[in-house]
Amino acid sequence: MASSLRKPLIAGNWKMHLTLAESVALAKAVKDGSANAPGEVAVFAPFTALSVVAEVLKGSPVRLGAQDLHWETHGAYTGEVSANQIKDVGCQMTLIAHSERRRLFHETDENVNKKLKAAFAAGLVPVLCVGETLEEREAQRTFKVLQTQLEEGLKGFAPAALAPLVIAYEPVWAIGTGKTATPDQAQEAHLFIRKTCARLYGEAWASGLRILYGGSVTPENVDTLMAQPDVDGALVGGASLKVPGFIRIIQFQLPAGAKR
């Protein structure tokens, strides 16, 4: 269901791309291109670029996020970065459980749950990524997979603690493949996610929960995706690295008669 409580959010995931100079240039372009955008805007930069991008975005409404975090606050965890460190460098947000982390780096739902707790404890807004593989979709297991990822990832929270959470539905078969989910497929999955969240933590929270779609979002398909009543934004990979395309995505336009 559409809700005016849910401010749209368009977020760019830069993954393992860009030098410092390229990151600064892209952040400046995103900042300038976000003026009068219909929703909020965020960029998830590589750890190495967070400091310089934070400087560029200082004082602007564009939010900055990291792409992952470790659940411990500090300690002997070589190569890891904690929620407090992410906050300290100037981030307001963090991705958790991107499908590349789940698939390539063996992210488990148990660790996802710990990372969510760490993000909330540090005052970061987590974007929890969920989504099925092509094999799972073809075996009619999409809803089962989403249900498990949500039930396990969101286990054991006080409902009030979850207030800032954002969820990104990212079907693995659509990420970086050029195969976007149809608006109907996205809407069906988003509605299922919202209903599952309502069952787990109540209708009041779920009706205000922002659910982003991710998977080959482009300037050409963003408007029809955003017109779906339960699509509250987009998590954009490849297309977020290109200006002016990403600016067009940020400045999405709802078709006449759209339900949201």
Which residues contact ligand PEP by CB under 6 A?
13, 170, 175-176, 214-217, 235-239
- Is 57 or 175 the residue whose CB approaches ligand PEP more closely? 175
For ligand PEP, the nearest residue by Cβ is 237
Give the other-Cβ count within 10 Å of 172's Cβ: 21
Q: Are 146 and 132 in contact (CB under 8 A)?
A: yes
- Residue identified by tokens 């958790």 is 96
Name the active-site residue from 40, 100, 132, 170. 170
Least distance in angstroms from the C-beta of 153 to ligand PEP: 17
Residue 98 catalytic? Answer: yes
Q: How far is the CB of 203 from ligand PEP (least distance, A)?
A: 28
Q: How far apart are CA 24 and CA 55, in angstroms?
A: 9
Report the nearest approach of ligand PEP to the CB of residue 92 (Å). Answer: 18
Q: Which is nearer to ligand PEP, 33 or 219 (CB)?
A: 219
- For residues 86 and 127, which CB has a smaller minimum distance to ligand PEP in the complex? 127
Name the active-site residue from 98, 100, 107, 190.
98
Residue 172 · residue 134 · CB < 8 Å: yes
Residue 170 designated active-site: yes
CB of 180 to ligand PEP, least distance (A): 8
Min dist CB 148 to ligand PEP, Å, is 20
Residue 20, beta-bridge partner list: none
Q: For ligand PEP, which is the closer residue by CB, 3 or 183? A: 183
Question: 3-state SS of the chain?
Answer: CCCCCCCCEEEEECCCCCCHHHHHHHHHHHHHHCCCCCCEEEEECCHHHHHHHHHHHCCCCCEEEECCCECCCCCCCCCCCEHHHHHHCCCCEEEECCHHHHHHCCCCHHHHHHHHHHHHHHCCEEEEEECCCHHHHHCCCHHHHHHHHHHHHCCCCCHHHHCCCEEEECCHHHCCCCCCCCHHHHHHHHHHHHHHHHHHHCHHHHHHCEEEEECCCCCCCHHHHHCCCCCCEEEECHHHHCCCHHHHHHCCCCCCCCCC
Which residue, 187 or 216, has its beta carbon nearer to ligand PEP?
216
Residue 207 CB, shortest distance to ligand PEP, in Å, is: 25
Nearer CB in complex with ligand PEP: 50/201: 50
Q: Please give the positions annotated as active site.
A: 98, 170
